[in-house]
């Protein structure tokens, strides 16, 4: 982890997790409405009905708030509160879950808006892109790679390079959807049925390359 991330990764507090989540949700909304650079901690505190002292107790900086938002997004994609995939869960079940969650999160109300902010303001806010990537996409890829390596060790999958396999799977799920939604939003209605069909194909493609023969990889 870089010096930038070590400095700004927010510290946990033993109490007030619900309040913490509420503040992070407010911050996300204001980032989208006003932009990252134009948002101040005072604005967030006022909108959240919190004192600046409370805000800084939960989050040491605006960058820490962004890190929290991205960690929450990553946890939604992985489907686990602690952000870790159960090592013993069957591969097909795990891949289907991650794929569905990824697309649902990506095309939810705020995810693409946050990505647009990072693309637009990254040059004015050094480290913003790194923070966004490390706490979101990179974390998801690393957790999936760890799971794939575990599934390989128990003989369910055959991923000699688990990190590459994780990136290939996530890329197959996302495909060209991000580019399409960024440059031509609403061009295609990616409904629940289409998401399901898309993810099923991505998982089948992945298992045809990395799955081991036997019922466990086809369950």
pLDDT tens, residue order, the chain (219 aa) = 444 444 444 444 445 678 888 999 999 999 999 999 899 999 999 999 989 888 998 899 999 999 999 998 899 899 865 567 888 899 999 999 999 999 988 877 688 888 889 888 887 777 899 999 999 999 999 999 999 999 999 999 999 999 999 999 999 999 888 888 788 777 777 788 888 999 999 999 999 999 986 444 444
Q: Can you list the alpha helix ranges (DSSP code H) found in the chain?
A: 3-8, 17-34, 41-48, 52-58, 62-78, 91-106, 111-121, 128-135, 137-153, 162-174, 177-183, 192-210
- Residue from 106, 114, 79, 78 nearest 195 by CA: 106
Domain count for the chain: 1
In sequence order, the 6+-apart residues with CB closer than 8 A to the CB of 214 are 156
- 17 contacts 81 by C-beta, under 8 angstroms: no
CA–CA gap between residue 5 and residue 27 (Å, rounded): 19
**pTM of structure:** 0.83
Residue numbers of the domain that contains 49: 3-217
- 201 contacts 171 by C-beta, under 8 angstroms: no
CA–CA gap between residue 4 and residue 40 (Å, rounded): 19
Q: What is the CATH number of the domain that holds 131?
A: 1.10.357.10
């Amino acid at each position: 982890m870089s010096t930038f991330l070590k400095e700004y990764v927010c510290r946990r507090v033993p109490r007030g997790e619900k309040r913490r989540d509420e503040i992070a949700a407010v911050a996300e909304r204001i980032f989208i409405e006003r932009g990252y650079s134009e948002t101040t901690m005072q604005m967030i505190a006022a909108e959240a009905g919190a004192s600046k002292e409370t805000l800084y107790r939960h989050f040491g900086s605006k960058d820490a708030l962004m890190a929290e938002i991205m960690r929450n997004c990553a946890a939604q994609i992985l489907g686990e509160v602690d952000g870790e995939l159960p090592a013993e869960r069957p591969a097909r079940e795990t891949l289907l879950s991650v794929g569905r969650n990824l697309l649902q999160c990506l095309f939810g109300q705020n995810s693409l808006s946050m990505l647009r902010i990072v693309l637009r303001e990254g040059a004015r806010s050094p480290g913003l892109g790194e923070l966004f990537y490390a706490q979101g996409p990179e974390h998801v890829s690393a957790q999936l790679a760890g799971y794939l390596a575990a599934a390989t060790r128990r003989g369910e999958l055959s991923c000699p390079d688990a990190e590459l396999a994780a990136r290939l799977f996530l890329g197959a799920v996302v495909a060209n959807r991000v580019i399409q939604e960024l440059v031509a939003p609403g061009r295609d209605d990616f409904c629940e049925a289409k998401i399901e069909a898309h993810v099923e194909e991505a998982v089948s493609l992945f298992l045809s390359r990395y799955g081991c023969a036997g019922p466990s990889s086809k369950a």
